[in-house]
């Protein structure tokens, strides 16, 4: 694919920077998409990035700065003066500019804004800086084309022409009243094929999907996905048009959310990437490892109470890994299904039915596995122990299914990411419950 670069090529670019081969570099980056240039830069050091950026057309440079990953960007932006940065921010889309400025120290941010010459952009950015990054307001761009309800098509087209340079992708023209209240939209297609003297009020589509600036970014993503939208307008509480959110930013939200869920499922507590510092990576993993370890020590403590029994029947210890592993696997399977149902927008059918189904699936798997293990143990070990292990296994499967089902629902109700329930927490709990069940069953059946 064109958007992967070999280490060899990146090294070649780096060498060209070292030797100041500007003509070669300019030629190499001509007609290359800004997203690809940013990708090459990921492999270079901050000084090289800055060197290349200054060779590029400022418009392209602004796009590159927007496209590059946060960590890399923060690294090399510190090499720029506020004046140099303001030159790029003048040409950056307001949503990206606000994100970039948000990551800078307040003093630098203020200096950059003070040095900007594009006054409309400054207003946009200052407005966007008010919003939290993970709400609709933090996701939107101010650049859009809007038309007054009292205009005609010809006036609309003039407005598109006027805004053409500012607004990169015009998906739709928003229709507002004199107070900027959003009334609806006109698609580019309709505008293109309509006669010039048709009134906007006769052409526009009312009742369109919109979001409020305070809505959570995941809500925005769900809504755009549900209605198959490529752009959505953002309004304030009065219904005034504030900006628009485009699908590319929402795709990033969806991808990030999936990554966060995966990390939650695997017990990594901060958003880390392979390129982060060693200590950051270790630290992100430690909390859940310590939870797991504490669980293990609790388990050791519990087993300590059975020292005499274990001395008498050491074979009881043999099946500890079987019991704990199966409990863990069953619990994670159950919770993942529930987490996905929660994510895809709730469930159908009543709660009672829901739990009944979980119970039945657990029953089917529990019976199958317990029988398999019983047959195996009956052939190779003591008959009494075979019964104990199978009864315990069955109970553990039932309990782990139940735990795996209710934990994500409870977490979700508490406002905690339910994906955590597929992670080390539930595994640790299931380990302990499994041990408890196993040794209780043994105590009842063996003595």
Q: What are phi and psi of 242, to 5 degrees?
A: -105, -35
Nearer to a second copy (CB atom), residue 152 or residue 365: 365
Closest CB to a second copy among 114 and 367? 367
Write each residue from 310 to 339 as x if it is in contact with a second copy (CB under 8 A), else as -, in one continuous string: xx--xx-xxxxxxxxxx-xxx-xx-xxxxx
The rounded distance, in Å, linking the Cα atoms of 111 and 109 is: 5
- Rounded to an integer, what distance in angstroms lies between the CA atom of residue 146 and that of residue 20? 46
Residue of the chain from 183, 428, 439, 441 that contacts a second copy (CB under 8 A): 428
Closer residue to a second copy (CB): 62 or 323: 323
Tell me how far, at minimum, the Cβ of 308 lies from a second copy, in Å.
8
Helix (H) or strand (E) holding 265: helix 247-265
Q: In what order do the strands lie in the sheet with 241-246?
A: 211-212, 231-235, 241-246
Mark the segment that binds a second copy (CB under 8 A) among 51-59, 104-112, 136-144, 305-313.
305-313
46 binds a second copy (CB under 8 A): no
Structural element, H or E, at residue 102: helix 94-102
Residues that bind a second copy (rule: CB under 8 A) add up to a total of 129
Q: Does 52 bind a second copy (CB under 8 A)?
A: no
Q: What minimum distance in Å lies between the beta carbon of 178 and a second copy?
A: 24
Cα–Cα dist 272/266, whole Å: 12
Strand, helix or coil at 242?
strand
SS3 155: helix
CB of 83 to a second copy, least distance (A): 29
**Interface residues for a second copy in 376-415 (CB under 8 A)?**
376, 380
* Of residues 237-296, those binding a second copy (CB under 8 A): 246-248, 250-252, 254-255, 258-259, 261-263, 265-268, 272-275, 278-279, 281-282, 285-286, 288-290, 292-293, 295-296
- Of 213, 221, 192, 140, nearest to 173 by C-alpha is 192
| Interacting residue with a second copy among 61, 233, 299, 418 (CB under 8 A) | 299
Binding mask 210-229 for a second copy (x = CB under 8 A): ---------x--xx-xxxxx
Decide: helix, strand or coil at residue 437. helix
240/285 with CB nearer a second copy = 285
d(CA 149, CA 142): 20
Quote the least distance from Cβ 265 to a second copy, whole Å: 6
CA-CA-CA-CA dihedral for 402, 405, 411, 417, to nearest 10: 140
Cβ-based nearer residue to a second copy, 68 or 112 = 68
| Residue numbers 334-363 binding a second copy by CB under 8 A | 335-341, 345-350, 354, 357, 360-361
Q: Which is nearer to a second copy, 79 or 372 (CB)?
A: 372
* Alpha carbon distance 102, 51 (integer Å): 24
Nearer to a second copy, 82 or 229 (CB): 229
64 Cβ neighbours under 8 A, 6+ residues apart: 34, 37, 38, 41, 53, 56
148 backbone dihedrals φ, ψ, rounded to 5°: -80, 145
DSSP 181: B
Residues β-bridged to residue 182: 176
Cβ contact 426:407 at 8 Å: yes
CA distance 14 to 8: 10
CB closer to a second copy, 140 vs 250: 250
Of residues 189, 202, 238, 414, which one binds a second copy by CB under 8 A? 189
Binding characters for a second copy, 135-164, by CB under 8 A (x = yes): ----------------------x--xx--x
Structure tokens at 147: 């038309």
Q: Which is nearer to a second copy, 105 or 349 (CB)?
A: 349
Q: How far is the CB of 146 from a second copy (least distance, A)?
A: 15
| Closest CB to a second copy among residues 3, 197 | 3
Orientation of helix 82-89 relative to helix 58-67, angle to 10°: 90
Sequence-ordered strand ranges (E) for 208-274: 211-212, 231-235, 241-246
One symbol per residue from 91 to 120: x for binding a second copy (CB under 8 A), - otherwise; what is it?
Answer: ------------------------------
Longest dimension (CA), the chain: 97
192 is a site residue for a second copy (CB under 8 A): yes
């Amino acid at each position: 694919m064109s958007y992967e670069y070999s280490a060899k090529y990146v090294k070649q670019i780096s060498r060209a920077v070292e030797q100041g081969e500007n003509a070669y570099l300019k030629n190499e980056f001509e007609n290359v998409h800004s997203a690809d240039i940013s990708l090459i830069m990921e492999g270079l050091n901050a000084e090289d990035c800055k060197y290349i950026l200054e060779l590029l057309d400022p418009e392209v440079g602004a796009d590159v700065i927007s496209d590059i990953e946060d960590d890399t960007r923060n690294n090399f932006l510190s090499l720029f003066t506020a004046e140099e940065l303001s030159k790029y921010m003048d040409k950056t889309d307001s949503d990206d500019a606000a994100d970039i400025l948000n990551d800078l120290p307040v003093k630098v941010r203020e200096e950059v804004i003070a040095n900007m010459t594009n006054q409309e952009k400054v207003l946009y950015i200052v407005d966007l800086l008010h919003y939290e990054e993970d709400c609709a307001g933090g996701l939107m761009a101010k650049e859009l084309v809007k038309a007054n309800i009292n205009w005609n098509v010809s006036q609309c087209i003039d407005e598109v022409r006027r805004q053409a340079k500012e607004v990169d992708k015009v998906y739709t023209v928003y229709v507002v009243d004199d107070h900027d209240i959003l009334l609806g939209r006109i698609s580019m297609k309709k505008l293109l094929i309509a006669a010039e003297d048709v009134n906007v009020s006769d052409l526009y589509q009312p009742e369109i999907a919109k979001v409020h600036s305070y809505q959570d970014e995941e809500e925005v993503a769900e809504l755009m996905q549900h209605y198959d939208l490529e752009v959505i307008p953002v309004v304030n509480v009065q219904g005034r048009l504030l900006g628009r959110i485009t699908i590319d930013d929402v795709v990033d939200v969806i991808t990030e959310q999936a990554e966060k869920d995966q990390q939650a499922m695997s017990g990594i507590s901060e958003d880390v990437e392979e390129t982060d510092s060693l200590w950051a990576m270790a630290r992100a993993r430690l909390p859940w490892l310590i939870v797991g370890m504490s669980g293990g020590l609790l388990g050791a403590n519990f087993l300590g109470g059975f020292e005499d029994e274990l001395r008498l029947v050491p074979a009881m210890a043999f099946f500890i890994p079987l019991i704990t592993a199966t409990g863990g696997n069953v619990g994670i399977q159950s919770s993942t299904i529930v987490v996905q149902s929660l994510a895809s927008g709730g469930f159908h059918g009543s709660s009672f039915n829901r739990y009944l189904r979980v119970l039945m699936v657990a029953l089917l798997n529990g019976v199958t596995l317990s029988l398999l293990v019983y047959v195996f143990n009956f052939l190779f070990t003591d008959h009494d122990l075979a019964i104990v292990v199978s009864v315990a296994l069955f109970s553990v499967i039932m309990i782990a299914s139940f735990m795996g089902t209710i934990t994500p629902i409870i977490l979700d109700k508490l406002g905690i990411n339910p994906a955590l329930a597929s992670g080390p927490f539930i595994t640790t709990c299931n380990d302990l419950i499994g041990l408890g069940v196993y040794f209780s069953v043994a105590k009842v059946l063996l003595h």
